[in-house]
Amino acid sequence: MFTGLSAFPLTPLADDALDERAFIGLIERLAGSGVDSITALGSTGSYAYLTAEERAHVARLAVASAGTTPVFVGVGALRTSQVLTNVRNAEDAGARGVLLAPMTYQPLTEDDVFELFRAVCDRTDLPVIVYDNPGTTHFTFTTELYGRIAELPGIASIKIPGVPSDPPAARARIDEIRAAIPERVTVGVSGDAFAAAGLNAGCDAWYSVIGGTLPEPALRITRAVAAGRGAEATAESERLALLWGLFAEFGGSLRVVAAIAEHLGLAPERCLPLPIRGLNGEQRSRVAEVVRELGLDE
């Protein structure tokens, strides 16, 4: 299950409450597009801003709306007991795996993070995805820590940050990670602008932000690499350079993807949890212009 395109949808809010209709629509859209899996309650899904009850409800809706498409559920929280509650709720919802990021307020040590993953692996039979996202969690994994955690039973995949743009350097980085982890553990790239480079360098999966709202271009990149057409995947990623540029300019992908979903009528206006206000009017107009120029609204 932990290969190909895993799409990370938004969790749209309206008046500070889950917009069930919009969320179900996003999940059904992804399932119908043929993505390989759906990861609900990732960073794009604003998991850190939701209560345990809200997250349990989102997990149930995602599984119920995804048909035969496997659903993974984000379970990260500040306390291990809270993580384990989220894991149980994901199990009860019928999730096929869990995504775990080490959330922080006080800085975490490598031993803290290892013990967190060990506690989860000891308490669930669900496969676990290691979520390395230093831009949001402010914890940076070392390759050695990847290796320690990956030896735990139940670890199925590692979601790594973007790889170098230089192909030999990207391949060397993936080879370095693979040498540190068991063969059974897959490696998935994140950072959408780096996805084609990561897949061409040998990553097994793409954990995709844009795939959660616009699955078609993400599928074109993923399927091209799978078919041995790496140059085609690179060309498609380069075609989307204006979009990747917006991600960089506006401080990350979340606000841009939310603006796209709102522009396309897939989410209500101002769908992000406050205090995240999203983009202003001028910035939204820029996003809409790029969407039209790239033909992403067709």
Positive or negative, the CA dihedral 277, 281, 283, 286 is: positive
Nearest CA-CA partner of 129 in 67, 214, 70, 173: 70
Nearest CA-CA partner of 72 in 235, 243, 220, 188: 188
Please report, for the chain, the start and end positions of each structural domain, with discontinuous segments joined by +.
4-228
As given in the structure block, the two tokens for residue 222 are: 């993923």
Q: What pLDDT does 97 receive?
A: 98
Summarised one tens digit per residue, pLDDT across range 65-101 is 999 999 999 999 999 999 999 999 999 999 999 999 9
Summarised one tens digit per residue, pLDDT across range 116-150 is 999 999 999 999 999 999 989 999 999 999 999 99
Selected from 3.40.50.300, 1.10.579.10, 3.20.20.70, 1.10.1740.10, the CATH number assigned to the domain covering 4-228 reads 3.20.20.70
Three-class secondary structure of residue 52 per DSSP: helix
Three-class secondary structure of residue 161 per DSSP: coil
Does residue 142 contact residue 179 with C-beta atoms inside 8 Å? no
Residue 288 binned pLDDT confidence (cut-offs 50, 70, 90)? very high
The tokens 């271009």 sit on which residue? 217
- Characterise 67 by phi-psi region: left (phi > 0), alpha (psi -120 to 50), beta (else): left
Question: What average pLDDT does this structure show over 201-205?
Answer: 97
Q: What pLDDT does 200 receive?
A: 97
17-18 vs 37-40, strand pairing mode: unpaired
Summarised one tens digit per residue, pLDDT across range 263-278 is 999 999 999 999 999 9
Is the model's pLDDT at 298 over the cut of 80? no
Instruction: Give the chain's radius of gyration (CA, Å).
Output: 18
Summarised one tens digit per residue, pLDDT across range 210-233 is 999 999 999 999 999 999 999 999
Is the model's pLDDT at 19 over the cut of 90? yes
Preceding amide of 275 cis, omega within 30: yes
Which class for 37: exposed (0-12), middle (13-18), buried (19 or more C-beta within 10 A)? Answer: buried
Of the chain, the percentage scoring pLDDT greater than 90 comes to 98
CB atoms within 10 A of CB 256: 29
